[in-house]
Amino acid sequence: MNTIFDELRAAIFSIWHRRWLALAVAWGVCLLGWLMIASIPNTYESRSRVFVQLDDVLSDVTGVPSNGKRDIDRVRQTLTSAVNLEKVIRGTPLSQDVTTPKQMEGAVLGLAKAIKVESQQENTFEISAKYGDGSRSDAENAKMAQSIVQRMIDLFRDENLAGNRGEMNTSLDFMNQQLATRQKELELAEQKRLAFETQNPDMAQGSLSVMQRLEASRAELRGIDADLAAAQSALAAINGQLAGTPKTLPGSGPVGGARAALAQAQAELAGMRARGLTDNHPDVIAARNQVNALRPAAASEGGPGGMPNPAYSSLESIRADRQANVQALSARRAMVQGDLSRITSQQITNPQVAAEQQRINRDYDVLKQQYDKLLQDREELRLRGQVQTEHNAVKFQVVDPPTTPRGPISPNRPFLLFGVLVAGLGAGVAAAFAISQLRSTFSTTSKLESALGLPVLGAISATLTDAGRDLRRKRLRLFYAASGALCGLFVLLLTVEFIQRGMVA
């Protein structure tokens, strides 16, 4: 512990012995460092927040989807592009220092590093700009940062509102050109199809291809066969009912006569058949035997007589209608079958013509679909343009206007000034200590004893005269004055810095 204390005391003595060297080095380092700090211009930053609200009520009513979010993202991404930054430079006093394209390119690159557009929330953006130029005063630099942010806000508004309208007109012109081109191609395809149908009238069936016509004819034929089978079944049923229904009703006569019994038995038999009972059913067989047994007795009672049976007349009209339906379906089936046979034979005999028709119809369908899609897109685009023109779907609001910088964000001059002072004092102490280590002197008797390996009996202290002591006191006052001047210069620089900041504010 004593050794460490001796070493520390020896080091302090060596530094104090060369205190003028340490002070001179400190002054040199501090002056050089403070001059470098003074050459660094203050950088000021201005910030602003904007809020963009999407109002899609009218777009929802019209059914046209709004692309406001996509447009806002596009504006946010392209706001710091070279073109927009050049607009910022030309719209601010920065253009006064730009006279050549090369200078403009350098100014754009520098401004791109100083501007930031950040998305804080879904619809809130923060625009910030930093500016510091040594040729301008601090007040001018602060005003320039605010002007840059204000110009960025103006560009944001112009790009989001006016820019969309210009792009909408350009898009409409492009869509109209494409529609005109597609319309000409569609007219040529129609003329080609009409010429083909004129040369091949048997193949003229609108826009349907041969395979489509074949499939349609087969499907229609299957439907006709099903309807015809149902109609024939209904006709057979009505014929069965007619077979068991008497044409006339029995006339007046004794109740319970043979003719009346025959009529009742026939009516019961007709009712059983109407319910769907077959001739092999036991009830039907019994009713038929009863009718056969009553017929001779009814015939012996005299002429047929009686009145016409209304049920029989009604069944006859129903049968006539169902017969007509069966005949119509049969005729329709024959016609469809003939068309199907004709198309099949044409496909077999003229495969090239069928292939040509299919190709023409396919080309026409493709062009027609493209034209209809372009027409629909053009109308939606026009409607969206009217929505944006007559009812602004994007509400733009400046939440926080561009701030006026009250102080520089860089450099941190007070901290740098203090750091240079500490570095200068440290450099002076280090220089004095290094020189003491290079000189072959011994500050204490213990060092001399350890270096020579011989015992040291004692040391003779320096004795000064009155004139020497006065000279020492004078030099010491000068040293304190020089040290105080260094600290005073530091305080003066801090005071000047705070005064300049107050002048900007």
The CATH number linked to 137 is: 3.30.1890
Where residue 363 falls (left for φ over 0; alpha for ψ -120 to 50; beta otherwise) is alpha
Asked if residue 76 and residue 152 are part of one domain, the reply reads yes
CA 6 to CA 158: how far, in whole Å? Answer: 77
Angle separating helix axes 351-390 and 163-199, nearest 10 degrees? 160
Which pLDDT band, with edges at 50, 70 and 90, does 207 fall under?
Answer: very low
Question: Is 206 inside any structural domain?
Answer: no
Asked if residue 100 and residue 173 are part of one domain, the reply reads yes
Asked if residue 266 and residue 158 are part of one domain, the reply reads no
- Give phi and psi for 379, each to the nearest 5: -70, -40
Number of neighbours of residue 309 by Cβ within 10 angstroms:
18
Q: Decide which of 379, 400, 421 is a domain's last residue.
A: 400
Which is nearest to 368 in space by CA: 493, 206, 241? 206
User: Which segment, 206-210, 266-270, 390-394, is predicted with the most confidence on average?
Assistant: 266-270
Question: Is 436 inside any structural domain?
Answer: yes
Strand blocks (E) in 336-478: 394-400
**242, 244, 249, 251: CA torsion to nearest 10:** 150
Asked if residue 500 and residue 454 are part of one domain, the reply reads yes
CA 231 to CA 241: how far, in whole Å? Answer: 16
Average pLDDT score over residue span 135-145: 83
User: Which residue type occupies 114?
Assistant: A
Average pLDDT score over residue span 282-305: 72
Q: What is the CA radius of gyration of the chain?
A: 57
Percent of the chain with pLDDT over 70: 74
HEC per residue, 478-491: HHHHHHHHHHHHHH
What pLDDT score does 27 carry? 95
Asked if residue 50 and residue 161 are part of one domain, the reply reads yes
CA 371 to CA 375: how far, in whole Å? Answer: 6
Find the domain containing 423 and state its range.
Answer: 2-40+413-504
What pLDDT score does 398 carry? 83
Which is nearest to 196 in space by CA: 350, 67, 51? 350
| pLDDT at residue 349 is higher than 60 | no
Which is nearest to 500 in space by CA: 414, 422, 409, 407? 407
Placement of tokens 């009686």 in the chain = 306
Query: What are the angstrom distances between the C-alpha of 163 and each of 73, 111, 385, 390, 399?
Result: 14, 23, 12, 15, 22
Question: Is 234 inside any structural domain?
Answer: no
CA 457 to CA 187: how far, in whole Å? Answer: 126
| pLDDT at residue 206 is higher than 50 | no
Question: Is 198 inside any structural domain?
Answer: no
Contact residues for 157 (Cβ-Cβ < 8 A; gap 6+): 396
Contact residues for 85 (Cβ-Cβ < 8 A; gap 6+): 108, 111, 112, 115
The per-residue pLDDT of the chain, averaged, comes to 77
User: Which segment, 183-192, 242-251, 275-284, is predicted with the most confidence on average?
Assistant: 183-192
CA 279 to CA 140: how far, in whole Å? Answer: 117
CA 323 to CA 87: how far, in whole Å? Answer: 89
Asked if residue 122 and residue 85 are part of one domain, the reply reads yes
Q: Decide which of 307, 325, 343 is a domain's last residue.
A: 307
Angle separating helix axes 138-157 and 466-504, nearest 10 degrees? 30
Least confident residue range of 4-18, 88-102, 281-295, 366-380:
4-18
Question: Is 27 inside any structural domain?
Answer: yes
Question: Is 183 inside any structural domain?
Answer: no
Where residue 75 falls (left for φ over 0; alpha for ψ -120 to 50; beta otherwise) is alpha
What pLDDT score does 487 carry? 93
Tally the domains of the chain: 3
Query: Does the reported pTM lie above 0.85?
Result: no
| pLDDT at residue 498 is higher than 80 | yes
User: Which residue type occupies 186?
Assistant: L
Q: Decide which of 267, 286, 307 is a domain's last residue.
A: 307
Which is nearest to 463 in space by CA: 472, 454, 455? 472
What pLDDT score does 421 carry? 93
With b for 16 or more beta-carbon neighbours within 10 A and e for fewer, the 133-162 pattern comes to eeebebeebbbbbbbbbbbbbebbbebbee
Question: Is 117 inside any structural domain?
Answer: yes
Average pLDDT score over residue span 92-120: 84
Residue 320 or 63, more confident: 320
How does pLDDT run across 382-426, given as a tens digit for each residue? Answer: 776 665 555 554 566 788 888 888 888 888 889 999 999 999 999
